[in-house]
Amino acid sequence: GLTKGVTIVTTATEDRLWNVRSMCERWRGPVSITVGAADTDLDAEAVSSNYIDGCDESLSHVGVVRVPKGTQFPVNQMRNRAWMKARTTHVFLLDADFWPGAGSYKMIADALHVVKDPSALVVPTFALEGKDGARARAGKRLRATDHDSLSALVPRTRDGLLRCLAAKNESFQHDWRTEGSLYWDAGRSATSVKLPPARIRCEPFHHHGSTRFDKWLASTQPEKLSCFLGNFYEPFVVVRNCAVTPRFDERYVGYGKNKLAWITSLRAAGFHFYTVPRAFAVHVPHPVSEEHRLWATHSRAIPQKRVVDDMFFESLFVRKLYADGIRRRYILSNTTASREGEVPTPLCAAAGADVDDIERREKRVNLLPAVARDCLSGACRMSEVSRARWARIDATTRNAPDLTACLMAGTRRDEATRECSPGGSRVH
């Protein structure tokens, strides 16, 4: 039988394995990892002895698959392999370049006692970035920072995360004392850090506005997410390790939409999504992978990009869910999206301006620094701007007589309003 607990399920390439050591140091629970290696000399025993000693090794597992150079990374097949070897009642699907906060294991375990199945516990995720942006000078320097320095830069505790979030505001003064060279948390570090605190900060991870970050900061209990702002929200979640929980679609290889497709399958399967209070993970800066670079900039990636897009949107049609506005031709032909108003976590019937405010503008004019400062002073509360905005979104979503028609009426994200009015109740 399975042991009560939570296992991180993840994958890594050889050049990203260094992340796993810090992941384990903060997690302390078990991990199940599949490593894709072109080097035939790398074996599971070497990975276990060098990288996962900080995790609960009695329940951990390491697998190695050969991925010849020049072939696409079978990421979802590798995730499923790692999942299959997990020996706990729950699994936490997390990419290797995200480090969990210290204490997140306990917060997740506590939350599992109060949510109802089928459920997915969302662990809010953030990005450590240069203040001038990921692609500008400080951001590039941060991505090239050595591994030991990064271990001192990435916040470990909730208070450390709050300071890192507050640091986006130029007026924020560092008012804590460290005994070593950790930036955000009191404690010792064996390395000196080369970037000054004034040049870095934390932000919500991109396309994760559905997490409702400032509400999460103020919460002491799991908070249900009533809707998603779009199909491009891919939170890292904890789910039950059982046969009825959907697995990853192994047709997805290489970069693009591999986890989005899985999150959509959870929505279609009737999962409720809850945020976990005080648990978090932070994205660790690193050089852009070759697969990502090709996907984003190179013409050779375009055919693969179209194949992945087609698979993703076809899966939405099969599940009778709404396909939002990245590919307009799909919206116009998708007349079968009849279940969006019936699943427990539908897409939000949000005005385009509200979506833009949450997902884009708040990357530049962010409400979180002020909320983080209040939390540090013991007065943690959701901002009134966010409270009003989400109340408007939830009311419209809850009262839309035909949610799919409402969504299709507002396919252009720059529209201030959608062409549907409240009235009647949708099916829950």
**What is the DSSP code string of 113-127?**
TTPPSSEEEEE-EEE
Q: What is the DSSP secondary structure assignment for residue 74, as one 8-state letter? A: -
Burial state string for 39-57 with b = 16 or more CB within 10 A and e = fewer than 16: eeebeeeebbeebbebbbe
For residue 91, pLDDT beyond 50: yes
Higher pLDDT, 57 or 130: 57
Distance CA 219, CA 347 (A): 23
% the chain with pLDDT above 90: 47
CA 125 to chain centre: 5
Distance CA 79, CA 75 (A): 6
Distance CA 386, CA 383 (A): 5
For residue 144, pLDDT beyond 50: yes
Which region among 33-47, 77-91, 150-164 has the lowest average model confidence (pLDDT)? 33-47
Order of strands, sheet of 272-275, starting from the edge strand that comes earlier in the sequence: 61-66, 31-37, 3-13, 88-93, 236-240, 119-123, 272-275, 223-224
CA 171 to chain centre: 29
Give pLDDT, residue 382.
93
Pairing type for strands 119-123 and 3-13 reads unpaired
Query: How does residue 255 score in pLDDT terms, banded at 50, 70 and 90?
Result: confident
Distance CA 85, CA 76 (A): 15
Query: How does residue 411 score in pLDDT terms, banded at 50, 70 and 90?
Result: very low
For residue range 221-237, what is the model confidence (pLDDT) as tens digits?
999 999 999 888 999 99
pTM, rounded to two decimals: 0.88
Nearest to 92 by CA among 167, 166, 10, 152: 10
Query: Given phi > 0 = left and psi -120 to 50 = alpha, else beta, which region is 423?
Result: left
Give pLDDT, residue 365.
58
Give pLDDT, residue 275.
98
Residue 406 CB neighbours (<10 A): 26
Give pLDDT, residue 37.
87
Please give the structure tokens belonging to residue 268: 């279609």
Give pLDDT, residue 290.
63
Q: Is 389 helix (H, G, I), strand (E, B) or coil?
A: helix
Give pLDDT, residue 282.
97
Element (H, E) at 125: strand 125-130
Element (H, E) at 210: none
Angle made by CA atoms 332, 326, 367, in degrees to the nearest 5: 130
Order of strands, sheet of 98-100, starting from the edge strand that comes earlier in the sequence: 98-100, 281-283, 125-130, 200-204
For residue 416, pLDDT beyond 50: no
Looking at residue 167, its amino acid is A
Residue 339 CB neighbours (<10 A): 17
Higher pLDDT, 396 or 259: 259
For residue 215, pLDDT beyond 70: yes
The answer to whether the CB of 272 falls within 8 A of the CB of 118 is yes
Give pLDDT, residue 334.
54
Number of helices (H), then strands (E), in the chain: 17, 12
Q: Is 342 helix (H, G, I), strand (E, B) or coil?
A: coil
Query: How does residue 418 score in pLDDT terms, banded at 50, 70 and 90?
Result: very low
For residue range 150-188, what is the model confidence (pLDDT) as tens digits?
888 899 999 999 988 988 766 555 554 444 456 788 655
Looking at residue 182, its amino acid is L
For residue 34, pLDDT beyond 50: yes
The answer to whether the CB of 203 falls within 8 A of the CB of 239 is no
Give pLDDT, residue 56.
95
Distance CA 23, CA 96 (A): 8
Q: What is the mean pLDDT of the chain?
A: 82
Please give the structure tokens belonging to residue 48: 């276990």
Nearest to 213 by CA among 383, 414, 43, 417: 383
The answer to whether the CB of 127 falls within 8 A of the CB of 284 is no
% the chain with pLDDT above 70: 76
Distance CA 84, CA 301 (A): 31
